[in-house]
Amino acid sequence: MNDSNFPTAAQVIVIGGGIVGTSVAYHLTKLGYTDVILLEQGQLSCGTTWHAAGLVGQLRSHVAMTDLIKYSTKLYSDLEAETGLATGWKNTGSLAVARSVDRMTVLKRTAASARAQGVDVDVISAKEAGDLWPLMETSDLQGAIWLPGDGKANPTDLTQSLAKGARNGGAKVIERVKVTDVIVKDGAVTGVKTDKGQIDAEIVVNCAGQWAREIGKMCGVSVPLHSAEHMYIVTGEIEGVHPDLPVMRDPDGYIYFKEEVGGLVMGGFEPEAKPWGMDGIPDKFEFSLLPDDWDQFEILMENAMIRVPKLAECEVKKFYNGPESFTPDNNFLLGEAPELKNFFVGAGFNSMGIASAGGAGKALAEWIVNGSATTDLWPVDIRRFANFNNNPSWLHDRIKETLGLHYAMPWPNRELDTARPFRRSPLFDRLKSKNACFGSKMGWERANWFANAGQKPEIEYKFGRQNWHDNVAKEHRAVRESVAVFDQTSFAKLLVQGRDAATILNTICAGDVDVEVGKSVYTAMLNTRGGFESDVTVMRIHREKFLLITGSAQAIHDADWIERNIPQDSHVTLTDVTSAWSVLSVMGPKSRDVLKQLSKSDFSNKAFPFATIQEIDVGYATVYANRMTYVGELGWELIVPTEFAAGVYDDVMKAGEEFGIIDAGYYALEGLRLEKGFRAWSRELHPDINPFEAGLGFAVSMDKPGGFIGRDALIEHRKNGAPRKRIVQLVLQDPDAQLWGGELVLRNGVAVGEVRSAAYGHTLNASVALVQMDHAEGVTKDFIESGDYEVDLAGELFKATAHIRTPYDPKSERPKME
């Protein structure tokens, strides 16, 4: 193309001609967006895509993510028929083998969750695994699982085939054009500058792989990813290796194998990765590799020789060391950037880009065309990160651990160890000195539980009861029987204010929040499908000021959702005030007695009823006290200016001494809320479930004046009879069994759903779970109550009782979930 033919405008520009960019362009054209230009600085697939091993495994821990890859496999098998260009897709199936008993437990849990997610799977013996993969040493194996739907593809061919499909649909794919800047006007993207000229555009999509962070920096968008070296070898031909040989993974050895031209590809995910590109990613890195690093590869090679002894005799034809971008939590980054309107990101694929690209490209294209995600994409939503996650030193240290997570033991409640502590509450040192064991959420260090004197505040991971069980029991009982304090400073806090704040918030929230000053309303923010975008507490602290408290991980997401729905000419502003306030939750039947010692305020039911907020004095501090609870007991959330938090905490602990006050952590909170059946965002509540299905009808005000976003969908839903899905509480009958979440639930022997959250309920003396039950003919009261339930715990079935209303304490501090 000569310069005079160079385009000057397009509806959509996609930056990056790897597998992800071409998939986005392809799917945009399928959705009727034909004025699309894809720009690639080198040649198609020349970045990371060309040297991928091409494994496509369908199963992920989140059902929506599994669905994306299931779609990829279908697309990759059908694409050649459409475009005439082969994709190299081969449905070989895949095996995962277990060396240890714990790993076998993982595989059995995986098999159960595969069944819950509709993925074909079989648990097989070591011998059967050996029959499928005769070159493998099996004498040390406990067993394996077999996933017949998995396979492999050729990444370069796939990219070419997607590009052809995109061109056929009207898109222009232009190679050898480098984007040098992103043009922004009035908070929205308006085009790009390139080394060949400027192109105006309504929408720009950043699919620049490991360069995506730099592209983001051109326009103030955080794309938190960092490159790491990633390696595999290709051997010469080996007798017995044939194109239909399944993909084989041996996670205890950190390795995988697949066939390639009669030999084996062997690569893996070593526990400590080697970050790369600290001084920036070179522009000229076309079809390039990094130097071989046998030292870094040694741990993989040693393990590979144990699994496939024949490797010792064969020739290594090629060592591939290519950089790939990794993110802080091992999930990719998708969606419209909260910082810049009409600027989308699809990057950071954590060595899953080939498997994910089909589904991720479709999901991103739908997001662009519809203006919002069309399904639950929270695990990969770019809004789960904030600008502080883009800190290069932090990213560098974190991704050393991220790469290895692929094959690390997925222990229940496993915490990441690197790049911590990151965000600290003002009480961090105090809680640390009291033996807190910290976990991390949205970067915050949060006390999960408190160790006894002489006990190490460390988790001993296992699938049964862990070492903190009794510590948490004590915290749990204190909340139910006397009083405890939770440091909930990590809550996200948003201040929405202005003359129109009440009116606008009332259209964004499904409940009626246009209430008297001093009222707190627990409600939902819904999308147009009626699904949850968030659940929040809205506190009216002034006629024109509302303080919103939402989950720690939701600050960016919720702020973005609200700002998007504020009409341009209205008088409303939103400020994230998370760092300005700490939250100390004083919970339990003695909480009133404790606070009375410290404050002149009246805490009686009459003067301070449930779901109200008042500004009160606590010691020398002036704080907001919100009478609300997530544990189902009497209690107040003290919302304290950060600089007063330490003083208030000390005062509360001193005043509480005579009532036996103790510190409690997030593990106790989880058990307490699950006993009460309280739902949590991103677990039970997600964009594909509405308040009636979730049992939160009380949080919706269908008839309030002016309506609200999602109301039409809820009206339609009500016309359709019984909900097809519903959140139901299950209590295990065996008091010793431990649930963690993700387990398969059977009703009368047939799969009916998956455990969304679970914990031990120390008041009920059993594991308690919230389950999403799905049933096409409707999940009626009769359907729930007439079933016999079992939970599949790593292959063993445990009987459970289903409850629509919680079996614990009918005198709830919050309206009942029905």
Which residue number, 49 or 87, has a Cβ lying nearer to ligand FAD? Answer: 49
Strands (E) across 619-749 are located at: 621-626, 635-641, 662-663, 725-732, 744-747
Residue 354 in the binding site for ligand FAD (CB under 6 A): yes
Residue 355 in the binding site for ligand FAD (CB under 6 A): yes
CB of 213 to ligand FAD, least distance (A): 10
Residue 320 in the binding site for ligand FAD (CB under 6 A): yes
Residue 234 in the binding site for ligand FAD (CB under 6 A): no
Residues 694/685, Cβ–Cβ less than 8 Å: yes
Which residue number, 211 or 561, has a Cβ lying nearer to ligand FAD? Answer: 211
CB of 117 to ligand FAD, least distance (A): 18
Residue 19 in the binding site for ligand FAD (CB under 6 A): yes
Partners of residue 247 on adjacent β-strands: 94
The strand order across the sheet containing 484-487 reads 613-618, 621-626, 635-641, 581-587, 484-487, 662-663
Residues 23-62 that bind ligand FAD (CB under 6 A): 39-42, 46-49, 51-55
DSSP annotation string for 489-550 = TTSEEEEEESTTHHHHHHHHBSS-----TTBEEEEEEE-TTS-EEEEEEEEEEETTEEEEEE
Residue 364 in the binding site for ligand FAD (CB under 6 A): no
Q: How many whole angstroms separate alpha carbon 335 and alpha carbon 368? A: 8
Residue 17 in the binding site for ligand FAD (CB under 6 A): yes
CB of 218 to ligand FAD, least distance (A): 9
Residue 224 in the binding site for ligand FAD (CB under 6 A): no
- How is residue 185 annotated by DSSP? E
Residue 10 in the binding site for ligand FAD (CB under 6 A): no
Residues 248/303, Cβ–Cβ less than 8 Å: no
Which residue number, 20 or 539, has a Cβ lying nearer to ligand FAD? Answer: 20
Q: How many whole angstroms separate alpha carbon 728 and alpha carbon 733? A: 16
Which residue number, 173 or 699, has a Cβ lying nearer to ligand FAD? Answer: 173
Which residue number, 10 or 352, has a Cβ lying nearer to ligand FAD? Answer: 352
Residue 501 in the binding site for ligand FAD (CB under 6 A): no
Residues 345/337, Cβ–Cβ less than 8 Å: yes
Single out the segment in contact with ligand FAD by CB under 6 A; choices: 89-97, 183-191, 201-209, 268-276: 201-209
CB of 467 to ligand FAD, least distance (A): 37
Q: Does residue 421 have a cis peptide bond before it, meaning omega lies within 30 degrees of 0?
A: yes
Single out the segment in contact with ligand FAD by CB under 6 A; choices: 15-23, 128-136, 403-411, 752-760: 15-23
In the chain, % helix, strand, coil (3-state, to 5) comes to 30, 30, 40
Which residue number, 50 or 649, has a Cβ lying nearer to ligand FAD? Answer: 50
Classified as helix, coil or strand, 403 is helix
Q: How many whole angstroms separate alpha carbon 782 and alpha carbon 791? A: 20
CB of 652 to ligand FAD, least distance (A): 49
CB-based contacts of 464, cutoff 8 Å, min separation 6: 738
Closest to 81 in 3D by CA, of 89, 72, 92: 89
- How is residue 117 annotated by DSSP? T
Which residue number, 97 or 427, has a Cβ lying nearer to ligand FAD? Answer: 97
CB of 737 to ligand FAD, least distance (A): 36
Residues 385-414 that bind ligand FAD (CB under 6 A): none
CB of 89 to ligand FAD, least distance (A): 13
CB of 374 to ligand FAD, least distance (A): 21
CB of 43 to ligand FAD, least distance (A): 8
Helix ranges (H only) for 125-154 are 126-132
CB of 234 to ligand FAD, least distance (A): 11
Closest to 250 in 3D by CA, of 132, 105, 331, 143: 143
Instruction: Single out the residue of 29, 327, 351, 440 in contact with ligand FAD (rule: CB under 6 A).
Output: 351
**97 CB-side CA count, 13 A:** 32
Residue 96 in the binding site for ligand FAD (CB under 6 A): no
Residue 331 in the binding site for ligand FAD (CB under 6 A): no
Residue 95 in the binding site for ligand FAD (CB under 6 A): no
CB of 323 to ligand FAD, least distance (A): 6
Single out the segment in contact with ligand FAD by CB under 6 A; choices: 202-210, 290-298, 481-489, 651-659: 202-210
Q: Phi, psi at residue 356, to the nearest 5°?
A: -85, -20
CB of 734 to ligand FAD, least distance (A): 40
Residue 353 in the binding site for ligand FAD (CB under 6 A): yes
Strands (E) across 385-505 are located at: 436-441, 444-450, 484-487, 492-497
Size of the site for ligand FAD (CB under 6 A): 40
Instruction: Single out the residue of 347, 700, 769, 791 in contact with ligand FAD (rule: CB under 6 A).
Output: 347
Closest to 460 in 3D by CA, of 421, 398, 403, 412: 412
Helix ranges (H only) for 253-406 are 294-307, 353-370, 392-402
Residue 770 in the binding site for ligand FAD (CB under 6 A): no
Binding site for ligand FAD (CB under 6 A): 15-21, 39-42, 46-49, 51-55, 178-179, 207-211, 215, 230, 232, 320, 322, 324, 347, 349, 351-355
